[in-house]
Amino acid sequence: MMSKVRHALVAIVAAAALAPFGQVAASIDGAQAVRMLATDAADLLAEEVALVALAESTVSPTDLAAVEVQLRSVDVQGQAILVQLQGLGVELTPAIESTLERLPLNEAIAATDVPMVPRPVVYEAAIDDLLRIAAAPAAVAPVGDGSSGPSYALLAVAAVSLLILGGAALANTLWRRPETEELEELAWSDELTGLASRRRLDHDLEVRCDDGPTTVILVDVDHFEGVNDQYGHQAGNDILKRLGTVFAHHVRSDDVVYRYSGEEFCVLLSDTDVDEAQCVADRLVEAARGINLPNGANVTVSVGVAGADGDELTSAIEHADRALYLAKQQGRDRAVVAIGPTTN
């Protein structure tokens, strides 16, 4: 028998797919097509945000598998709408493009097709941008001689058709994922913070070896053992979760934040020199101060930064770790950049 979660997912897809169907019965012009596609895209992203939240609250591996299948279905629909908006000549913001594009898949897990979901702040920006486009479509729709009207209608019909097909496919595949695959895939995300896991970091280090310069940032929470001892592990876990959220919001959209170990975090910054990375590291230090301990004191972190090219990435983490140790020695609550491979 289907779980309540599966029933909810089917209802979500059916509603998303069928609601706009009546709207495309008549011919529409460019502005109407843009309004329809932008509205559908905003609804689709809101659905994806809800599914991500559902995944975070779902305990059953079987239900989690259903959520991931739905995310993949939404992913395909979003990219189709993105292509249509681009075909209409609509100028889209980076937030819209990054959320409607196919969700980036790590090569090692491509076979199981597990999406790496963008952060909530990116979704919020994209939905706001789409709603602004939907509110004033004439400002972004191309002006033609009227002969192109049927093609706009065709594009809108295609978008609705994709939604319907996506819903039908989902209804037939919600319960197909094996539980063993689910448990293995969960290891790519840290259970407590929702960030990328140490296992994913190890893989990404291998993948990035041929991708050019990458800068490593290591972050350690100052006096964290004292937090656990004085306020309990639940309070410590809450601090780690809040730090994970804050750090994810203070890096660039292409950067990845990992939970490196107990109270340590790692950030990989592509195509970034150490000066730019230090600016990011300083932002993380400042952001951590905005989180308060139960006694009202500010949380502080020590940060180490190191740069590397290609196969030097593993040693860059060692250099960043030495720089982090120097930050501790110099009084904590600061970021230190490694100076050469012999920093100690």
Report how far residue 208's alpha carbon sits from residue 54's, in angstroms, rounded to the nearest whole number: 31
Question: 132 and 229 share a domain?
Answer: no
Which of 157, 184, 211 is the C-terminal boundary of a domain? 184
Identify whether 192 is part of a domain: no
Which of 158, 184, 210 is the C-terminal boundary of a domain? 184
Identify whether 342 is part of a domain: no
**Taking Cα atoms as reference points, which of 32, 16, 303, 13 lies closest to residue 148?**
32
The C-alpha angle 174, 105, 173, rounded to 5 degrees, equals 10
Identify whether 343 is part of a domain: no
pLDDT in tens, 28-69: 467 788 888 888 888 888 887 777 777 666 556 666 667 677
User: Tens digit of pLDDT per residue, the chain (344 long)?
Assistant: 334 444 444 444 444 444 444 444 334 467 788 888 888 888 888 887 777 777 666 556 666 667 677 777 777 888 888 888 888 888 888 889 888 887 654 333 333 344 456 777 788 888 888 888 888 777 766 544 444 444 444 444 444 444 443 443 443 333 334 444 444 444 678 888 888 888 888 888 777 655 567 899 999 999 999 998 999 999 999 999 999 989 988 888 778 899 999 999 999 988 888 888 999 999 999 999 999 999 989 999 999 999 876 557 778 899 999 999 999 999 999 999 997 544 43
Question: What is the number of structural domains in the chain?
Answer: 2
Question: 220 and 275 share a domain?
Answer: yes
Question: 20 and 155 share a domain?
Answer: yes
Question: 214 and 310 share a domain?
Answer: yes
Domain span at residue 302 reads 198-337
Identify whether 308 is part of a domain: yes
Question: 75 and 180 share a domain?
Answer: yes
Q: Is 163 left (phi over 0), alpha (psi -120 to 50) or beta?
A: alpha
Question: 164 and 250 share a domain?
Answer: no
Any idea what the CATH number is for the domain that residue 290 is in? 3.30.70.270
Identify whether 344 is part of a domain: no
Question: 35 and 151 share a domain?
Answer: yes
pTM of the model: 0.49
pLDDT in tens, 198-210: 888 888 877 765 5
Q: How many angstroms separate the Cα of 36 from the Cα of each of 18, 48, 65, 75, 239? A: 13, 18, 31, 18, 42
Question: 260 and 302 share a domain?
Answer: yes
Query: How does 150-185 read in b/e, with b if 16+ C-beta sit within 10 Å?
Result: eebbebbbbbbebbbebbeebeeebeebeeeebeeb
Which of 184, 206, 233 is the C-terminal boundary of a domain? 184
